[in-house]
Amino acid sequence: MIDIKHILDQHGIPNWTEGKNVAPGWINIQCPFCDDSSNHFGFNPKKEYGSCWKCGHHFLDDTFQQLLSITKHEAVKLIEENKTNDLISAYNRRKRIHRNSTLELPKGSGELKKMHKVYLQNRNFDPEKIEKEYHITGTKMLGEYNYRIIIPIFVNGKLVSYQGRDITGKSDTRYKACQPEDEVICHKDIVYNADRVQQRKGIIVEGVTDVWRIGAGAVATFGTSYTNAQIKFIIKILDLAFLLFDPSDPIAQKKAEKLAFTLSGLKIKTELIEISDFSGDDPGSMSDEEAKYLRKNLLNY
């Protein structure tokens, strides 16, 4: 096991072992990856990754790198120094996890039912169009991903991961990520909708529904936080990047500014986009006409 508590205490990171949001045996902190205002990020000492109720799973090396502002090498060393001999290091385990060659969607996934379509219609999406373009499926009452829209994630036409979007409004986890041990590629190492980028030009947004609204050329980082691996992936597919994060969220805007600065330093032409003249509070709530106008004028798609 890894002595997570010792690492957190040693570095003065506030943590909780009981109380609100804390499952038995877990250690919780404020999530370093999203706009968490509570303690939604939990460590299970028996696992090689942590999990945030809001933004999903994160490997320990990534977590400590983000939390402590240290390098990847320093994070891996810290983990190694605080583990017992009966557990494979998080770093090596991570590499082994990524050797999976195939992936299946969650049990019970199938064609969208009325409840899934109503959910999409209430958000001004055309269910048939989204189902066809993004190959989404739906689940019913049984299984770990019950009552969700399952969103496949592809790279070069291959299914590598997925997310499940709650349609009930009752789950604490709106987006439930694929388990790390099941992923072919960690979803936080890539961006969503990369296969539909053309001419190496794209609009970078936060979430999958933002992509659905804008369409071809839009890619998502699965939240406002992004990883070094995602930056490397973006460099492989884009020469020109427009960043469009939630304009009503100051934290999201700071993250977008930081990402734009980083990409521009890596020879990617970047521009921050404002949608204050459009309807809705974020890209996902724009009208289809506004999204089409944005895509045409920015990407010439």
Tell me the per-residue pLDDT of 57-98, one tens digit each, with 9 for 90 and over. Answer: 888 988 998 888 888 888 888 888 887 544 444 444 444 444
Q: What's the fold here for domain 4-97? A: DNA Primase; Chain A (3.90.580)
CATH of 194-299, one of 3.60.21.10, 3.40.1360.10, 2.40.50.100, 3.10.20.440: 3.40.1360.10
Query: Is 235 in contact with 266 (CB distance < 8 Å)?
Result: yes
Q: Where are the domains of the chain?
A: 4-97, 114-185, 194-299
**Mean of pLDDT values over 237-256:** 89
Query: Is 231 in contact with 263 (CB distance < 8 Å)?
Result: yes
What percent of the chain clears pLDDT 90, i.e. is strictly above it? Answer: 49
Q: How confident is the model at residue 277 (pLDDT cuts 50, 70, 90)?
A: low
CA 24/CA 33 separation, integer angstroms: 23
Measured at the alpha carbon of residue 13, what is the angle toward residues 97 and 32, in degrees to the nearest 5?
50
Q: Residue 12's pLDDT is what?
A: 82
Measured at the alpha carbon of residue 109, what is the angle toward residues 120 and 22, in degrees to the nearest 5?
80
Q: How confident is the model at residue 190 (pLDDT cuts 50, 70, 90)?
A: very high
| DSSP 8-state secondary structure symbol assigned to residue 23 | P
CA 129/CA 295 separation, integer angstroms: 17
Q: 74 forms bridges with which residues in the sheet?
A: none
The answer to pTM > 0.85 is: no
**Mean of pLDDT values over 27-37:** 87
pLDDT at 11 over 60: yes
CATH dotted code for 114-185: 3.90.980.10
Query: Is 276 in contact with 283 (CB distance < 8 Å)?
Result: no
Q: How confident is the model at residue 55 (pLDDT cuts 50, 70, 90)?
A: confident
CA 75/CA 106 separation, integer angstroms: 32
| DSSP 8-state secondary structure symbol assigned to residue 231 | H
Q: Would you say the CATH fold of 194-299 matches that of 4-97? A: no
Alpha-carbon dihedral sign for residues 255, 158, 149, 27: negative
